Structure 1
């Protein structure tokens, strides 16, 4: 019988703002706070489906930076922010 880690606590994604329920998925697709897996993959740089916690943290940081760059550019050209 496999032993699974505890389910993560529910949270809201820092980029898209969607509520992420606390549910267990495979480690490659598991949401890690502060953002959902989809935003991490869409905005972050790095390998797809990486399970290494350090590389996933780096990918999350790069995703947050990318979202901030997009919002800063939109504010600079006179449009409203999308993610903040």
Structure 2
């Protein structure tokens, strides 16, 4: 992703990450913008909701999983086959 695309993406999703009160709200607001949130190899990953394709990590956006967990609590995740990835348990 080039720097202009990264800046545009951050401008859309950063406010959502900053203002979400819980994991469910975060997912809902991201979905309204066409994004999903999953976990892959221990990283929180922003995805294209229509395709499931990974876009970037939370760290790339400036909101790493550690920071989000400290603010929103530990996410409840169900492991996918292989155990390296997971989705929210809702």
Q: Is TM (by shorter chain) over 0.5? A: no
Question: TM-score, normalized by length of structure 1?
Answer: 0.20
Question: TM-score, normalized by length of structure 2?
Answer: 0.20
- Determine which structure has the larger helix proportion and give its number: 2
- Determine which structure has the larger strand proportion and give its number: 2
The structure whose Rg is larger is 1
